[in-house]
Structure 1
Protein backbone atom coordinates (compact mmCIF):
# COMPACT_ATOMS: atom_id res chain seq x y z
CA UNK A 1 0.00 0.00 0.00
CA UNK A 2 1.39 3.41 -0.95
CA UNK A 3 2.07 5.88 1.84
CA UNK A 4 -0.02 9.01 1.08
CA UNK A 5 2.45 11.18 3.02
CA UNK A 6 5.23 10.12 0.66
CA UNK A 7 3.07 10.91 -2.37
CA UNK A 8 2.37 14.39 -0.96
CA UNK A 9 6.09 14.86 -0.33
CA UNK A 10 6.90 13.87 -3.92
CA UNK A 11 4.23 16.26 -5.23
CA UNK A 12 5.62 19.14 -3.16
CA UNK A 13 9.15 18.34 -4.31
CA UNK A 14 7.99 18.44 -7.94
CA UNK A 15 6.55 21.94 -7.48
CA UNK A 16 9.59 23.45 -5.71
CA UNK A 17 11.90 23.30 -8.79
CA UNK A 18 9.21 25.11 -10.82
CA UNK A 19 9.30 27.94 -8.28
CA UNK A 20 13.11 28.06 -8.31
CA UNK A 21 13.18 28.14 -12.12
CA UNK A 22 10.53 30.90 -12.01
CA UNK A 23 12.73 32.81 -9.54
CA UNK A 24 15.65 32.70 -11.98
CA UNK A 25 13.44 33.64 -14.93
CA UNK A 26 12.02 36.60 -13.01
CA UNK A 27 15.52 37.76 -12.06
CA UNK A 28 16.61 37.55 -15.71
CA UNK A 29 13.50 39.45 -16.85
CA UNK A 30 14.19 42.21 -14.31
CA UNK A 31 17.79 42.51 -15.52
CA UNK A 32 16.46 42.91 -19.06
CA UNK A 33 14.12 45.62 -17.78
CA UNK A 34 17.11 47.59 -16.49
CA UNK A 35 16.83 46.71 -12.79
CA UNK A 36 20.17 46.44 -10.99
CA UNK A 37 20.78 42.77 -10.04
CA UNK A 38 21.84 43.92 -6.56
CA UNK A 39 18.45 45.60 -6.11
CA UNK A 40 16.79 42.36 -7.19
CA UNK A 41 18.91 40.55 -4.60
CA UNK A 42 17.85 43.06 -1.94
CA UNK A 43 14.17 42.52 -2.74
CA UNK A 44 14.66 38.75 -2.73
CA UNK A 45 15.72 38.90 0.92
CA UNK A 46 13.53 41.82 2.00
CA UNK A 47 10.41 39.86 1.08
CA UNK A 48 11.87 36.66 2.58
CA UNK A 49 12.77 38.31 5.89
CA UNK A 50 9.35 40.02 6.09
CA UNK A 51 7.52 36.71 5.57
CA UNK A 52 9.75 34.69 7.92
CA UNK A 53 9.69 37.20 10.77
CA UNK A 54 5.89 37.47 10.49
CA UNK A 55 5.64 33.85 11.64
CA UNK A 56 9.01 33.19 13.27
CA UNK A 57 10.17 35.85 15.71
CA UNK A 58 11.12 36.18 19.41
CA UNK A 59 7.47 36.86 20.28
CA UNK A 60 5.92 33.85 18.55
CA UNK A 61 8.94 31.64 19.28
CA UNK A 62 10.78 32.81 22.44
CA UNK A 63 14.52 32.18 22.23
CA UNK A 64 14.56 31.78 18.44
CA UNK A 65 17.08 34.63 18.09
CA UNK A 66 19.54 33.01 20.51
CA UNK A 67 22.38 31.38 18.59
CA UNK A 68 25.28 29.47 20.10
CA UNK A 69 27.32 30.27 16.99
CA UNK A 70 26.18 33.74 15.93
CA UNK A 71 29.29 34.55 13.81
CA UNK A 72 28.73 31.32 11.89
CA UNK A 73 25.08 32.27 11.33
CA UNK A 74 26.25 35.60 9.90
CA UNK A 75 28.73 33.83 7.60
CA UNK A 76 26.00 31.44 6.42
CA UNK A 77 23.62 34.29 5.66
CA UNK A 78 26.32 36.20 3.76
CA UNK A 79 27.20 33.11 1.72
CA UNK A 80 23.59 32.69 0.65
CA UNK A 81 23.45 36.38 -0.22
CA UNK A 82 26.64 36.01 -2.28
CA UNK A 83 25.22 33.00 -4.07
CA UNK A 84 22.02 34.86 -4.98
CA UNK A 85 23.82 38.04 -6.06
CA UNK A 86 26.23 36.08 -8.28
CA UNK A 87 23.31 34.21 -9.83
CA UNK A 88 21.38 37.38 -10.69
CA UNK A 89 24.53 39.02 -12.07
CA UNK A 90 25.14 35.95 -14.26
CA UNK A 91 21.56 35.93 -15.52
CA UNK A 92 22.03 39.34 -17.16
CA UNK A 93 23.80 37.66 -20.06
CA UNK A 94 23.55 33.89 -19.62
CA UNK A 95 20.74 31.48 -20.38
CA UNK A 96 18.75 29.94 -17.55
CA UNK A 97 19.93 26.48 -18.64
CA UNK A 98 23.58 27.56 -18.37
CA UNK A 99 23.34 29.05 -14.88
CA UNK A 100 21.27 26.24 -13.36
CA UNK A 101 23.53 23.55 -14.85
CA UNK A 102 26.62 25.09 -13.26
CA UNK A 103 24.72 25.63 -10.01
CA UNK A 104 23.94 21.92 -9.79
CA UNK A 105 27.66 21.22 -9.48
CA UNK A 106 27.38 22.55 -5.89
CA UNK A 107 26.69 19.08 -4.37
CA UNK A 108 29.89 17.88 -6.04
CA UNK A 109 31.84 20.73 -4.43
CA UNK A 110 30.20 19.88 -1.09
CA UNK A 111 31.34 16.26 -1.38
CA UNK A 112 34.86 17.42 -2.19
CA UNK A 113 35.11 20.07 0.56
CA UNK A 114 33.32 18.09 3.28
CA UNK A 115 36.51 16.10 3.97
CA UNK A 116 38.91 18.90 4.88
CA UNK A 117 36.23 21.16 6.40
CA UNK A 118 33.94 18.69 8.22
CA UNK A 119 35.97 15.47 8.37
CA UNK A 120 33.45 13.70 6.08
CA UNK A 121 35.88 12.03 3.69
CA UNK A 122 34.58 10.68 0.39
CA UNK A 123 34.94 7.16 -0.95
CA UNK A 124 36.65 6.42 -4.25
CA UNK A 125 33.26 6.18 -5.96
CA UNK A 126 32.23 9.60 -4.68
CA UNK A 127 35.55 11.13 -5.74
CA UNK A 128 35.14 9.61 -9.20
CA UNK A 129 31.62 11.04 -9.42
CA UNK A 130 32.91 14.45 -8.29
CA UNK A 131 35.68 14.35 -10.91
CA UNK A 132 33.19 13.43 -13.63
CA UNK A 133 30.85 16.21 -12.50
CA UNK A 134 33.56 18.82 -12.74
CA UNK A 135 34.34 17.55 -16.23
CA UNK A 136 30.69 18.41 -16.96
CA UNK A 137 31.30 21.93 -15.64
CA UNK A 138 34.34 22.25 -17.90
CA UNK A 139 32.24 21.12 -20.86
CA UNK A 140 29.93 24.09 -20.22
CA UNK A 141 32.59 26.60 -19.13
CA UNK A 142 35.08 26.00 -21.94
CA UNK A 143 37.89 28.54 -22.53
CA UNK A 144 36.26 29.82 -25.70
CA UNK A 145 32.87 30.12 -23.95
CA UNK A 146 34.41 31.87 -20.94
CA UNK A 147 36.10 34.40 -23.23
CA UNK A 148 32.80 35.12 -24.97
CA UNK A 149 30.72 34.98 -21.78
CA UNK A 150 32.76 36.17 -18.77
CA UNK A 151 29.53 36.11 -16.73
CA UNK A 152 30.23 32.38 -16.39
CA UNK A 153 32.56 33.44 -13.55
CA UNK A 154 29.52 34.72 -11.64
CA UNK A 155 27.86 31.32 -12.07
CA UNK A 156 30.97 29.61 -10.74
CA UNK A 157 30.93 32.06 -7.80
CA UNK A 158 27.28 31.20 -7.20
CA UNK A 159 28.11 27.49 -7.15
CA UNK A 160 31.04 27.90 -4.75
CA UNK A 161 29.13 30.19 -2.36
CA UNK A 162 26.21 27.79 -2.27
CA UNK A 163 28.47 24.79 -1.60
CA UNK A 164 30.08 26.62 1.34
CA UNK A 165 26.60 27.66 2.52
CA UNK A 166 25.55 24.00 2.64
CA UNK A 167 28.67 23.05 4.60
CA UNK A 168 28.16 25.86 7.14
CA UNK A 169 24.50 24.81 7.48
CA UNK A 170 25.62 21.27 8.35
CA UNK A 171 28.05 22.67 10.91
CA UNK A 172 25.37 24.81 12.54
CA UNK A 173 22.99 21.85 12.87
CA UNK A 174 25.08 20.66 15.83
CA UNK A 175 24.62 23.94 17.71
CA UNK A 176 21.40 25.74 16.73
CA UNK A 177 17.83 24.65 16.05
CA UNK A 178 16.49 24.73 12.52
CA UNK A 179 14.11 27.53 13.56
CA UNK A 180 17.03 29.71 14.67
CA UNK A 181 18.91 29.02 11.45
CA UNK A 182 15.84 29.89 9.35
CA UNK A 183 15.39 33.09 11.39
CA UNK A 184 18.91 34.29 10.54
CA UNK A 185 18.97 33.08 6.91
CA UNK A 186 18.29 36.40 5.20
CA UNK A 187 19.19 38.90 7.92
CA UNK A 188 22.92 39.41 7.31
CA UNK A 189 22.52 39.81 3.55
CA UNK A 190 19.68 42.28 4.07
CA UNK A 191 21.72 44.25 6.63
CA UNK A 192 24.67 44.35 4.22
CA UNK A 193 22.53 45.64 1.36
CA UNK A 194 20.49 48.22 3.28
CA UNK A 195 23.29 50.87 3.46
CA UNK A 196 23.95 50.40 -0.28
CA UNK A 197 20.30 50.89 -1.22
CA UNK A 198 20.60 54.66 -2.02
CA UNK A 199 23.32 53.86 -4.60
CA UNK A 200 21.52 51.01 -6.34
CA UNK A 201 17.92 52.17 -6.01
CA UNK A 202 16.05 53.13 -9.15
CA UNK A 203 12.32 53.61 -9.01
CA UNK A 204 10.59 50.71 -10.83
CA UNK A 205 9.36 51.93 -14.19
CA UNK A 206 5.93 50.29 -13.92
CA UNK A 207 3.64 48.35 -11.56
CA UNK A 208 4.70 45.22 -13.48
CA UNK A 209 8.33 45.73 -12.42
CA UNK A 210 7.20 46.23 -8.82
CA UNK A 211 5.23 43.00 -9.05
CA UNK A 212 8.20 41.12 -10.45
CA UNK A 213 10.47 42.40 -7.66
CA UNK A 214 8.01 41.12 -5.06
CA UNK A 215 7.60 37.87 -7.01
CA UNK A 216 11.36 37.21 -6.71
CA UNK A 217 10.99 37.05 -2.92
CA UNK A 218 7.76 35.06 -3.06
CA UNK A 219 9.15 32.44 -5.45
CA UNK A 220 12.29 31.93 -3.35
CA UNK A 221 10.49 31.79 -0.01
CA UNK A 222 7.72 29.50 -1.25
CA UNK A 223 10.20 27.18 -2.96
CA UNK A 224 12.28 26.67 0.19
CA UNK A 225 9.11 26.28 2.28
CA UNK A 226 7.91 23.48 -0.02
CA UNK A 227 11.31 21.78 0.35
CA UNK A 228 10.89 21.77 4.13
CA UNK A 229 7.33 20.40 3.87
CA UNK A 230 8.40 17.73 1.37
CA UNK A 231 11.30 16.46 3.51
CA UNK A 232 8.95 16.23 6.51
CA UNK A 233 6.84 13.73 4.56
CA UNK A 234 9.29 11.65 2.52
CA UNK A 235 12.91 10.50 2.85
CA UNK A 236 15.64 12.64 1.31
CA UNK A 237 16.89 9.72 -0.81
CA UNK A 238 13.51 9.59 -2.55
CA UNK A 239 13.18 13.34 -3.03
CA UNK A 240 16.72 14.39 -3.92
CA UNK A 241 16.71 13.31 -7.61
CA UNK A 242 13.56 15.37 -8.25
CA UNK A 243 15.41 18.66 -7.73
CA UNK A 244 17.13 18.07 -11.07
CA UNK A 245 13.81 18.65 -12.83
CA UNK A 246 14.66 22.34 -12.37
CA UNK A 247 16.91 22.03 -15.42
CA UNK A 248 13.91 20.99 -17.53
CA UNK A 249 11.79 23.90 -16.28
CA UNK A 250 14.69 26.32 -16.80
CA UNK A 251 15.05 25.19 -20.42
CA UNK A 252 11.28 25.53 -21.00
CA UNK A 253 11.07 28.97 -19.37
CA UNK A 254 14.24 30.11 -21.12
CA UNK A 255 12.75 29.19 -24.48
CA UNK A 256 9.19 30.32 -23.75
CA UNK A 257 10.05 33.69 -22.17
CA UNK A 258 13.38 34.65 -23.73
CA UNK A 259 13.60 32.50 -26.85
CA UNK A 260 16.82 30.86 -25.60
CA UNK A 261 17.80 27.49 -27.04
CA UNK A 262 20.56 25.80 -25.00
CA UNK A 263 23.56 24.67 -27.01
CA UNK A 264 24.68 21.07 -27.38
CA UNK A 265 27.68 21.64 -25.06
CA UNK A 266 25.43 23.03 -22.32
CA UNK A 267 23.07 20.05 -22.56
CA UNK A 268 25.96 17.58 -22.56
CA UNK A 269 27.57 19.23 -19.54
CA UNK A 270 24.23 19.29 -17.73
CA UNK A 271 23.73 15.55 -18.35
CA UNK A 272 27.20 14.77 -16.98
CA UNK A 273 26.61 16.92 -13.87
CA UNK A 274 23.17 15.41 -13.22
CA UNK A 275 24.52 11.87 -13.70
CA UNK A 276 27.33 12.55 -11.23
CA UNK A 277 24.88 14.00 -8.73
CA UNK A 278 22.62 10.96 -9.00
CA UNK A 279 25.60 8.69 -8.30
CA UNK A 280 26.30 10.66 -5.10
CA UNK A 281 22.64 10.40 -4.08
CA UNK A 282 22.56 6.65 -4.77
CA UNK A 283 25.73 6.00 -2.79
CA UNK A 284 24.48 8.10 0.12
CA UNK A 285 21.25 6.11 0.14
CA UNK A 286 23.16 2.81 0.20
CA UNK A 287 25.33 4.02 3.10
CA UNK A 288 22.24 5.07 5.09
CA UNK A 289 20.58 1.69 4.49
CA UNK A 290 23.73 -0.16 5.54
CA UNK A 291 23.96 1.85 8.77
CA UNK A 292 20.28 1.23 9.49
CA UNK A 293 20.66 -2.51 9.00
CA UNK A 294 23.72 -2.66 11.28
CA UNK A 295 21.79 -0.74 13.94
CA UNK A 296 18.85 -3.15 13.63
CA UNK A 297 21.18 -6.16 13.99
CA UNK A 298 22.70 -4.72 17.16
CA UNK A 299 19.24 -4.35 18.66
CA UNK A 300 18.37 -8.02 18.02
Structure 2
Protein backbone atom coordinates (compact mmCIF):
# COMPACT_ATOMS: atom_id res chain seq x y z
CA UNK A 1 0.00 0.00 0.00
CA UNK A 2 1.03 3.59 -0.55
CA UNK A 3 2.05 5.76 2.39
CA UNK A 4 -1.11 7.85 1.96
CA UNK A 5 -3.32 4.74 2.05
CA UNK A 6 -1.62 3.58 5.26
CA UNK A 7 -2.21 7.03 6.74
CA UNK A 8 -5.90 6.88 5.78
CA UNK A 9 -6.29 3.47 7.44
CA UNK A 10 -4.54 4.74 10.57
CA UNK A 11 -6.88 7.75 10.69
CA UNK A 12 -9.93 5.49 10.41
CA UNK A 13 -8.54 3.26 13.16
CA UNK A 14 -8.01 6.33 15.34
CA UNK A 15 -11.60 7.48 14.85
CA UNK A 16 -12.88 3.96 15.58
CA UNK A 17 -10.94 3.89 18.86
CA UNK A 18 -12.20 7.31 19.96
CA UNK A 19 -15.81 6.34 19.16
CA UNK A 20 -15.42 3.04 21.03
CA UNK A 21 -14.16 5.03 24.01
CA UNK A 22 -17.25 7.25 23.89
CA UNK A 23 -19.54 4.21 23.59
CA UNK A 24 -18.05 2.43 26.58
CA UNK A 25 -18.20 5.55 28.75
CA UNK A 26 -21.80 6.17 27.72
CA UNK A 27 -22.67 2.61 28.78
CA UNK A 28 -21.52 3.43 32.33
CA UNK A 29 -23.73 6.56 32.57
CA UNK A 30 -25.55 6.76 35.88
CA UNK A 31 -23.72 3.85 37.51
CA UNK A 32 -20.62 5.87 38.48
CA UNK A 33 -20.39 9.59 39.36
CA UNK A 34 -18.77 11.58 36.55
CA UNK A 35 -15.67 12.74 38.44
CA UNK A 36 -15.02 9.30 39.91
CA UNK A 37 -15.34 7.84 36.41
CA UNK A 38 -12.91 10.41 34.98
CA UNK A 39 -10.41 9.81 37.79
CA UNK A 40 -10.38 6.02 37.39
CA UNK A 41 -10.24 6.15 33.58
CA UNK A 42 -7.42 8.71 33.63
CA UNK A 43 -5.50 6.71 36.25
CA UNK A 44 -5.60 3.62 34.04
CA UNK A 45 -4.65 5.70 30.98
CA UNK A 46 -1.61 7.13 32.80
CA UNK A 47 -0.56 3.63 33.79
CA UNK A 48 -0.85 2.40 30.20
CA UNK A 49 1.18 5.35 28.89
CA UNK A 50 3.97 4.71 31.39
CA UNK A 51 3.86 0.95 30.72
CA UNK A 52 4.27 1.53 26.98
CA UNK A 53 7.00 4.15 27.45
CA UNK A 54 9.10 4.66 24.30
CA UNK A 55 6.99 2.11 22.37
CA UNK A 56 4.22 4.44 21.25
CA UNK A 57 6.55 7.43 21.17
CA UNK A 58 9.32 9.21 23.05
CA UNK A 59 8.60 10.28 26.62
CA UNK A 60 10.82 12.83 28.39
CA UNK A 61 10.38 16.08 30.31
CA UNK A 62 13.36 18.09 29.13
CA UNK A 63 11.12 20.78 27.66
CA UNK A 64 11.50 24.56 27.38
CA UNK A 65 9.54 26.78 29.79
CA UNK A 66 7.50 28.29 26.94
CA UNK A 67 6.30 24.85 25.90
CA UNK A 68 5.43 23.95 29.50
CA UNK A 69 3.07 26.94 29.64
CA UNK A 70 1.37 25.73 26.48
CA UNK A 71 1.15 22.15 27.78
CA UNK A 72 -0.38 23.42 31.04
CA UNK A 73 -2.96 25.55 29.19
CA UNK A 74 -3.77 22.61 26.95
CA UNK A 75 -4.19 20.25 29.90
CA UNK A 76 -6.53 22.65 31.75
CA UNK A 77 -8.58 23.03 28.58
CA UNK A 78 -8.80 19.25 28.31
CA UNK A 79 -10.31 19.12 31.81
CA UNK A 80 -13.10 21.46 30.71
CA UNK A 81 -13.60 19.53 27.46
CA UNK A 82 -13.88 16.24 29.35
CA UNK A 83 -16.55 17.62 31.67
CA UNK A 84 -18.73 19.24 29.01
CA UNK A 85 -18.27 16.48 26.42
CA UNK A 86 -19.02 13.59 28.77
CA UNK A 87 -21.99 15.37 30.32
CA UNK A 88 -23.39 15.88 26.81
CA UNK A 89 -22.51 12.28 25.89
CA UNK A 90 -24.51 10.89 28.81
CA UNK A 91 -27.58 12.94 27.92
CA UNK A 92 -27.85 12.95 24.10
CA UNK A 93 -27.57 10.41 21.27
CA UNK A 94 -24.00 9.41 20.39
CA UNK A 95 -24.38 10.15 16.66
CA UNK A 96 -25.88 13.61 17.31
CA UNK A 97 -22.98 14.58 19.57
CA UNK A 98 -20.41 13.19 17.15
CA UNK A 99 -22.07 15.11 14.30
CA UNK A 100 -21.75 18.37 16.24
CA UNK A 101 -18.08 17.63 16.98
CA UNK A 102 -17.39 17.27 13.24
CA UNK A 103 -17.44 21.06 12.99
CA UNK A 104 -14.14 21.28 14.89
CA UNK A 105 -11.90 21.37 11.75
CA UNK A 106 -14.01 24.21 10.35
CA UNK A 107 -13.89 26.06 13.68
CA UNK A 108 -10.10 25.65 13.84
CA UNK A 109 -9.75 27.06 10.32
CA UNK A 110 -11.95 30.04 11.20
CA UNK A 111 -10.12 30.70 14.47
CA UNK A 112 -6.78 30.45 12.66
CA UNK A 113 -7.89 33.24 10.35
CA UNK A 114 -9.32 35.45 13.10
CA UNK A 115 -6.74 34.89 15.85
CA UNK A 116 -3.56 33.69 14.16
CA UNK A 117 -4.13 35.84 11.05
CA UNK A 118 -3.56 32.88 8.74
CA UNK A 119 -4.65 33.39 5.14
CA UNK A 120 -8.08 31.86 4.47
CA UNK A 121 -9.64 32.55 1.07
CA UNK A 122 -13.26 33.41 0.39
CA UNK A 123 -14.06 29.87 -0.77
CA UNK A 124 -13.02 28.36 2.54
CA UNK A 125 -14.79 31.12 4.47
CA UNK A 126 -17.96 30.35 2.50
CA UNK A 127 -17.53 26.64 3.25
CA UNK A 128 -17.19 27.46 6.97
CA UNK A 129 -20.40 29.52 6.88
CA UNK A 130 -22.28 26.70 5.15
CA UNK A 131 -20.81 24.21 7.64
CA UNK A 132 -22.13 26.20 10.58
CA UNK A 133 -25.57 26.20 8.96
CA UNK A 134 -25.27 22.41 9.01
CA UNK A 135 -24.51 22.57 12.73
CA UNK A 136 -27.66 24.66 13.30
CA UNK A 137 -29.64 21.95 11.53
CA UNK A 138 -28.18 19.39 13.95
CA UNK A 139 -28.76 21.31 17.20
CA UNK A 140 -32.12 22.74 15.99
CA UNK A 141 -32.15 26.07 17.87
CA UNK A 142 -35.66 27.10 18.81
CA UNK A 143 -37.00 23.56 18.38
CA UNK A 144 -37.63 20.82 20.92
CA UNK A 145 -34.34 19.17 19.97
CA UNK A 146 -32.27 22.08 21.29
CA UNK A 147 -31.54 21.81 25.02
CA UNK A 148 -28.84 22.31 27.64
CA UNK A 149 -26.88 19.29 26.39
CA UNK A 150 -26.60 20.80 22.92
CA UNK A 151 -25.04 23.86 24.55
CA UNK A 152 -22.63 21.58 26.43
CA UNK A 153 -21.64 19.98 23.10
CA UNK A 154 -21.00 23.39 21.55
CA UNK A 155 -18.88 24.42 24.54
CA UNK A 156 -16.86 21.21 24.01
CA UNK A 157 -16.38 22.27 20.35
CA UNK A 158 -15.03 25.64 21.49
CA UNK A 159 -12.71 23.90 23.95
CA UNK A 160 -11.34 21.49 21.33
CA UNK A 161 -10.84 24.41 18.92
CA UNK A 162 -8.82 26.35 21.50
CA UNK A 163 -6.87 23.21 22.45
CA UNK A 164 -5.92 22.54 18.82
CA UNK A 165 -4.88 26.16 18.26
CA UNK A 166 -2.52 26.26 21.23
CA UNK A 167 -1.18 22.82 20.32
CA UNK A 168 0.07 24.35 17.07
CA UNK A 169 2.29 26.60 19.18
CA UNK A 170 4.21 23.65 20.64
CA UNK A 171 7.78 23.18 19.46
CA UNK A 172 8.28 20.21 17.09
CA UNK A 173 10.72 18.67 19.57
CA UNK A 174 8.07 18.22 22.30
CA UNK A 175 7.13 14.50 22.46
CA UNK A 176 3.45 13.80 21.83
CA UNK A 177 3.34 11.12 24.52
CA UNK A 178 4.67 13.57 27.12
CA UNK A 179 1.82 15.96 26.27
CA UNK A 180 -0.63 13.04 26.46
CA UNK A 181 0.67 11.91 29.85
CA UNK A 182 0.58 15.40 31.35
CA UNK A 183 -2.94 15.90 30.02
CA UNK A 184 -4.20 12.59 31.41
CA UNK A 185 -2.52 13.28 34.77
CA UNK A 186 -4.11 16.75 34.95
CA UNK A 187 -7.57 15.34 34.22
CA UNK A 188 -6.95 12.63 36.83
CA UNK A 189 -5.85 15.09 39.51
CA UNK A 190 -8.66 17.56 38.87
CA UNK A 191 -11.32 14.84 38.73
CA UNK A 192 -9.91 13.29 41.91
CA UNK A 193 -10.22 16.58 43.81
CA UNK A 194 -13.70 17.23 42.42
CA UNK A 195 -14.83 13.71 43.32
CA UNK A 196 -14.13 14.37 47.01
CA UNK A 197 -17.32 16.45 47.13
CA UNK A 198 -19.51 13.46 46.23
CA UNK A 199 -19.67 9.94 47.71
CA UNK A 200 -17.76 7.29 45.80
CA UNK A 201 -19.62 4.16 44.76
CA UNK A 202 -18.49 0.58 44.39
CA UNK A 203 -17.71 -0.19 40.76
CA UNK A 204 -19.34 -3.32 39.40
CA UNK A 205 -17.22 -5.83 37.43
CA UNK A 206 -19.02 -4.91 34.19
CA UNK A 207 -18.28 -1.23 34.76
CA UNK A 208 -14.62 -2.05 35.45
CA UNK A 209 -14.43 -3.82 32.09
CA UNK A 210 -16.04 -0.83 30.36
CA UNK A 211 -13.63 1.61 32.02
CA UNK A 212 -10.62 -0.57 31.15
CA UNK A 213 -11.86 -0.89 27.58
CA UNK A 214 -12.32 2.89 27.46
CA UNK A 215 -8.75 3.47 28.68
CA UNK A 216 -7.32 1.04 26.11
CA UNK A 217 -9.45 2.60 23.36
CA UNK A 218 -8.40 6.15 24.19
CA UNK A 219 -4.74 5.10 24.22
CA UNK A 220 -5.25 3.37 20.87
CA UNK A 221 -6.81 6.57 19.54
CA UNK A 222 -3.81 8.58 20.71
CA UNK A 223 -1.35 6.06 19.25
CA UNK A 224 -3.00 5.86 15.83
CA UNK A 225 -3.45 9.64 15.65
CA UNK A 226 0.28 10.08 16.35
CA UNK A 227 1.17 7.51 13.69
CA UNK A 228 -1.05 9.32 11.19
CA UNK A 229 1.17 12.38 11.48
CA UNK A 230 4.08 10.19 10.39
CA UNK A 231 2.30 8.49 7.48
CA UNK A 232 1.14 10.27 4.34
CA UNK A 233 0.12 13.83 3.59
CA UNK A 234 -2.01 15.52 6.23
CA UNK A 235 -4.22 17.03 3.51
CA UNK A 236 -4.91 13.49 2.23
CA UNK A 237 -5.53 11.75 5.55
CA UNK A 238 -7.42 14.54 7.36
CA UNK A 239 -10.81 14.02 5.60
CA UNK A 240 -10.88 10.42 6.88
CA UNK A 241 -11.43 11.97 10.32
CA UNK A 242 -15.10 12.13 9.37
CA UNK A 243 -15.36 8.32 9.45
CA UNK A 244 -15.88 8.86 13.19
CA UNK A 245 -19.45 9.89 12.34
CA UNK A 246 -19.99 6.58 10.51
CA UNK A 247 -18.71 4.65 13.54
CA UNK A 248 -21.00 6.70 15.79
CA UNK A 249 -24.02 5.96 13.61
CA UNK A 250 -23.27 2.22 13.59
CA UNK A 251 -22.57 1.94 17.33
CA UNK A 252 -25.45 4.24 18.25
CA UNK A 253 -27.81 2.04 16.26
CA UNK A 254 -26.56 -1.36 17.46
CA UNK A 255 -25.71 -0.51 21.07
CA UNK A 256 -28.21 2.20 22.04
CA UNK A 257 -30.94 1.71 19.40
CA UNK A 258 -30.52 5.36 18.38
CA UNK A 259 -30.80 6.80 14.89
CA UNK A 260 -30.68 10.54 14.12
CA UNK A 261 -33.61 12.26 12.47
CA UNK A 262 -33.57 13.38 8.84
CA UNK A 263 -32.69 17.00 9.65
CA UNK A 264 -29.71 15.87 11.75
CA UNK A 265 -28.50 13.61 8.94
CA UNK A 266 -28.76 16.42 6.39
CA UNK A 267 -26.90 18.80 8.72
CA UNK A 268 -24.17 16.21 9.36
CA UNK A 269 -23.78 15.65 5.61
CA UNK A 270 -23.38 19.40 5.05
CA UNK A 271 -20.76 19.67 7.81
CA UNK A 272 -18.75 16.72 6.48
CA UNK A 273 -18.97 17.94 2.87
CA UNK A 274 -17.81 21.47 3.73
CA UNK A 275 -15.01 20.08 5.89
CA UNK A 276 -13.75 17.89 3.08
CA UNK A 277 -13.93 20.86 0.68
CA UNK A 278 -11.87 22.92 3.15
CA UNK A 279 -9.18 20.24 3.25
CA UNK A 280 -9.28 20.05 -0.55
CA UNK A 281 -8.70 23.80 -0.86
CA UNK A 282 -5.81 23.66 1.63
CA UNK A 283 -4.24 20.86 -0.40
CA UNK A 284 -4.57 22.85 -3.64
CA UNK A 285 -2.98 25.91 -2.04
CA UNK A 286 -0.13 23.87 -0.57
CA UNK A 287 0.58 22.36 -3.99
CA UNK A 288 0.79 25.86 -5.47
TM alignment of 1:24-103, pairs within 5 A: 24-31=22-29, 33-56=30-53, 63-69=60-66, 70-103=68-101
TM-score, scaled relative to structure 1 = 0.86
The answer (yes or no) to whether the contact 1:39–1:201 under 8 Å persists in 2 is no
| Whole-angstrom distance in 2 between the partners of 1:146 and 1:79 | 30
The answer (yes or no) to whether the contact 1:204–1:210 under 8 Å persists in 2 is no
| Whole-angstrom distance in 2 between the partners of 1:201 and 1:211 | 21
Question: Aligned match of 1:11 in 9, 12, 15?
Answer: 9
TM alignment of 1:1-300, pairs within 5 A: 2-3=1-2, 5-31=3-29, 33-56=30-53, 63-69=60-66, 70-145=68-143, 149-173=147-171, 176-200=174-198, 202-290=200-288
| Whole-angstrom distance in 2 between the partners of 1:274 and 1:41 | 30
Aligned-residue CA RMSD (Å): 2.3
The answer (yes or no) to whether the contact 1:43–1:217 under 8 Å persists in 2 is no
Please state how far the C-alpha of 1:13 moved relative to its aligned partner: 2.0
| Whole-angstrom distance in 1 between the partners of 2:150 and 2:59 | 43
Match in the other structure for 1:294: none
| Whole-angstrom distance in 2 between the partners of 1:50 and 1:190 | 11
Aligned residues: 285
Change (3 A) 1:185 1:202: same
Deviations 1:34-84 (A, max 9, x none): 222333333342222222233449xx9685253422222111012122222
| Whole-angstrom distance in 2 between the partners of 1:62 and 1:52 | 9
The answer (yes or no) to whether the contact 2:24–2:210 under 8 Å persists in 1 is yes
Change (3 A) 1:287 1:86: same
The answer (yes or no) to whether the contact 1:97–1:266 under 8 Å persists in 2 is no
Q: Which has the higher contact order (CA 8 A, sep 6+)?
A: 2
The answer (yes or no) to whether the contact 2:93–2:258 under 8 Å persists in 1 is yes
Unaligned stretches of 5+ residues in structure 1: 291-300
Change (3 A) 1:61 1:22: closer
The answer (yes or no) to whether the contact 1:12–1:227 under 8 Å persists in 2 is yes
Deviations 1:199-227 (A, max 9, x none): 34533442010111122221111112111
